[in-house]
Amino acid sequence: MTALTDLTLTAARDGLARRAFSAAELTEAHLAAIEALNPRINAFITVTAERARAQAAAADAALARGEGGPLAGLPIAIKDLFCTEGVRTTAGSRILGPFVPPYESTVTAQLRRDGAVFLGKANLDEFAMGSSNMTSAYGPVANPWRRRQDADAVLVPGGSSGGSAAAVAGRLALGATGTDTGGSIRQPASFCGVAGIKPTYGRCSRWGIVAFASSLDQAGPFARTVQDCALLLRSMAGFDPKDSTSAELAVPDFVAACGRGVRGLRIGVPREYRSDGMAGEIERLWQQGLDWLREAGAEIVDVSLPHTKYGLATYYIVAPAEASSNLARYDGVRFGLREDGADLTELYERTRGAGFGAEVRRRVLIGTYVLSAGYYDAYYLRAQKVRALILRDFTEAFREVDALLTPTTPTAAFAQGEKMDDPITMYLNDVFTVPANMAGVPGLSVPAGLDAQGLPLGLQVIGRPFDEETVFAVGSVLERAAGFDALPAVRAGVPG
C-alpha cells in the first residue's frame, strides 16, 4: 500500500473518491511529514495546520455529499508570493513584516473553490528574484536530493520557487503553486526532479500575486507528474476581469490533452540551445528525449531561434526595470516593516535598506538606473525591441513545428554557497528558460533522467501561445518514456 505521501495528486483524488482514505488522513499525513522534515528542508515559511485540517474536514463533508470539487481534499503548498487572506504573506522578504493580506489572490481563490487544502506558504527567493532560494529572508531551502558522492553537501532546489519544488519532491505536499518570471518554476522543477509548467502569459491571473516583473510573471503548478500539473493548472487558470493582462479565453481540458500522444506532431530542436560547453550528460539526455518522441511518432525538425543567447541580457534589463517600479510601494507607510527616520526620505531609505536583501537591492538599483534619464533608450527600449525579436523567432519557428524540445537547465542542482560570488554566474542558470518568458509562450519541465551524481535533469517542452494542450501531450509522452522513478534521499517516510 503506497504511503499517502507517495501518491500522485491524481491517485490521491481517486483514492478519496473511492473512500480508500479520508481527506483528513491525507492532510494529517502531510502535516506529519512537514513536521518531521521541514526543519531540514525549510520548504515552508508558514505552516497552516489548523486551517488545513478545517479545509480537509470540509472536503470530507463535501465528498460525502457527492459535491467535492476537482481538487477536493488534496493538500498542496502555496508559494509565499500569493496573497492568502488571513494568512501571513512574506514574499520571502523582511520588508513585508507581519503583513496579513485582507484579500485572496485569484489563483489561490480558484484552488480553494475547487476544494484544495492549503498546507502552508512555501519558501522562495526574496520577491521571486533568484535561481537557488538562497536569497530568502527566511533561510535557504534544501533540495531533498543528495549527490551520490558527497552526500552531505546540501544542494539548492533552484529558484525562485524553491520551497514549492522541494515540498513536492520531498513528499511534503502533493502539489504546489509557483510563479515563473525567468524560469522560477521550470528550473527548480528540473533541479528537484518534479514536473512544473509556466503557462502562456495571461493564462493565469496575476491579481493578488506580489508583482516582480509584470510583463513576465506567470503562475503555474508543480506536481510529481505531468497529468497532476494539468489537473492543477485547470483550476488555476482562467480569465480574471481584475487583471488587465488576463486573456479572455476559455480554459481547455488540460488533463484530456495529456493522453493525446504526439503522432504526426513536428518537434523543433533549436540549434542555438546547444552551446559549446554543454555538459555531455545534458546533450545525451536531450538526444534521448528526441528519440523518445520520434519513437512515439513525432517528426524532429531543426529550427533556429537566432536571438536565444540575448534572452538573459534582455531579461536582466526588463525584469529589474519593472521590479524597481513594482517594489516602490514597499515603503513602510501602509503595511510591512517600518524603520524610523527623521523625515520621510530617511524613513523610506532606512525601511527599504533594512527590508530588502542584497539581490533585491541589486536588481532594484539596476532597474532604477536603466530607466533613468538618458538611459531609457539605450537599455529598456532596446531590450523591448530585442524581446520583440525573440518573440518573432518563436513565431517563425512555430510556423514549422508544433513544439520545441530543449534541456531545462545547463546543469543539475549545485551546492548551497556555490555560484554566489558573481551574480551573473547565478543568472546563467536560466539561459534555457528565460526566452519563453520573454516571448510569453508556455514551457513545461519534465524530469527525464539523472546525472552522474544521481541528480535529476529535466527536459523542457515549449509550445505556441495558449497551446498548453500540445505541451502537455508532448510532456506526457516524454514522462512515460523516461519512466523517471528515482527518489530523493530526503523525503517523507524515510527516517532522516
Partner 1 sequence: MSYSLQGASGPWEVVIGLEVHAQVISRAKLFSGAATAFGAAPNTQVSFVDAAFPGMLPVINRECVAQAVRTGLGLNAHINLVSRFDRKNYFYADLPAGYQISQYQHPIVGAGTIEIELPDGSTKDIGVTRLHLEQDAGKSLHDQHPTKSYIDLNRAGVALMEIVSEPDLRSPEEAGAYLRKLRTILRYLGTCDGNMEEGSMRADVNVSVRKHDEAFRTRCEVKNVNSIRFVMQAIEAEARRQIDVWEGGGTVEQETRLFDAARGLTRSMRSKEDAHDYRYFPDPDLLPLVLDEDWVASLRAGLPELPDAKRARFMQAYGLPAYDSGVLVAEQATADYYETVARGRDPKLAANWVMGDLFAALNRTGRGIEDSPVSAAVLGQLLDRMADATINGRIAKEVFEAMVESGRDADAIIAERGLRQVTDTGAIDAAVAQVLAANADKVADYKGGKDKLFGFFVGQVMKAMAGKGNPALVNEALRRHLA
Partner 2 sequence: MSLDPATVRRIARLARIHVEEGEVARLQQELNGILGWIEQLNEIDVTDVEPLTGAAHMALRMREDAVTDGGIRDALLANAPERAGDFFAVPKVVE
Per DSSP, the chain holds a count of helices (H) and strands (E) of 16, 11
209 binding partner (options partner 2, partner 1, none; Cβ < 5 to 8 Å by kind):
partner 1
Which cell numbers in the block locate residue 25?
488522513
Given candidates 18, 250, 276, 345, which one binds partner 1 under the rule CB under 8 A? 345
Closest to 408 (Cα-Cα) out of 466, 462, 453: 462
Nearer to partner 2, 59 or 216 (CB): 216
Closest to 54 (Cα-Cα) out of 122, 112, 6, 7: 112
Nearer to partner 2, 21 or 369 (CB): 369
Contact call for residue 336 and partner 2 (CB under 8 A)? yes
Whether 242 is catalytic = no
Closest distance between partner 2 and the C-beta of residue 103, in Å? Answer: 8
The catalytically annotated residue of 93, 160, 324, 445 is 160
The count of other CB atoms within 10 Å of the CB of residue 20 is 15
Phi/psi at 266 (5° precision)? -105, 125
Which cell numbers in the block locate residue 142?
534544501
Secondary-structure percent of the chain, ordered helix, strand, coil, rounded to 5 = 40, 15, 45
Strand partners, 445: 196, 460
Contact call for residue 276 and partner 2 (CB under 8 A)? no
At position 23, the amino acid (one-letter code) is: A
The catalytically annotated residue of 79, 121, 198, 419 is 79
Kindly indicate which of the ranges 40-48, 52-60, 97-105, 287-295 contains the residues binding partner 1, using the contact rule CB under 8 A.
97-105
Closest distance between partner 1 and the C-beta of residue 381, in Å? Answer: 9
Nearer to partner 1, 25 or 339 (CB): 339
CA distance 326 to 209: 12
Whether 160 is catalytic = yes
Q: What is the DSSP string of 390-406?
A: HHHHHHHHHHH-SEEEE
Contact call for residue 340 and partner 1 (CB under 8 A)? no
Q: What is the DSSP string of 71-137?
A: TTT-EEEEETTB-BTTB---TT-STTTT---SS--HHHHHHHHTT-EEEEEEP-SGGG--SSS-S-T
HEC assignment per residue over 338-388: CCCCCCHHHHHHHHHHHHCCHHHHHHHHHHHHHHCCCCCHHHHHHHHHHHH
What is Dmax (Cα atoms) for the chain? 70
Contact call for residue 46 and partner 1 (CB under 8 A)? no
Closest distance between partner 1 and the C-beta of residue 457, in Å? Answer: 33
Kindly indicate which of the ranges 154-162, 213-221, 290-298, 423-431 contains the residues binding partner 1, using the contact rule CB under 8 A.
213-221
Q: Are 117 and 29 in contact (CB under 8 A)?
A: no
Q: Which of residues 232-291 bind partner 1 (CB under 8 A)?
A: 241-245
77 binding partner (options partner 1, partner 2, none; Cβ < 5 to 8 Å by kind):
none
Q: Does 160 sit behind a cis peptide bond, omega within 30 degrees of 0 on the bond before it?
A: yes
Contact call for residue 149 and partner 2 (CB under 8 A)? no
- Give SS3 for 260: coil
At position 44, the amino acid (one-letter code) is: F
Kindly indicate which of the ranges 3-11, 94-102, 386-394, 475-483 contains the residues binding partner 1, using the contact rule CB under 8 A.
94-102
Whether 79 is catalytic = yes
Q: Which of residues 379-418 bind partner 2 (CB under 8 A)?
A: 379, 381-389, 391
260 binding partner (options partner 1, partner 2, none; Cβ < 5 to 8 Å by kind):
none
Closest distance between partner 2 and the C-beta of residue 228, in Å? Answer: 26
> One symbol per residue from 207 to 246: x for binding partner 2 (CB under 8 A), - otherwise; what is it?
-------xx-------------------------x--xx-
Kindly indicate which of the ranges 102-110, 280-288, 297-305, 392-400 contains the residues binding partner 1, using the contact rule CB under 8 A.
102-110
201 binding partner (options partner 2, partner 1, none; Cβ < 5 to 8 Å by kind):
partner 2
CA distance 285 to 223: 21
Kindly indicate which of the ranges 227-235, 248-256, 373-381, 455-463 contains the residues binding partner 1, using the contact rule CB under 8 A.
373-381
The catalytically annotated residue of 132, 136, 184, 476 is 184
User: Contact positions toward partner 1, by CB under 8 A?
Assistant: 82-83, 89, 91, 96, 99, 101-103, 105, 206-211, 213-215, 241-245, 321-322, 324-325, 328-329, 331, 333-335, 344-345, 348, 368, 371-373, 376, 380
Q: Which residues are catalytic?
A: 79, 160, 184
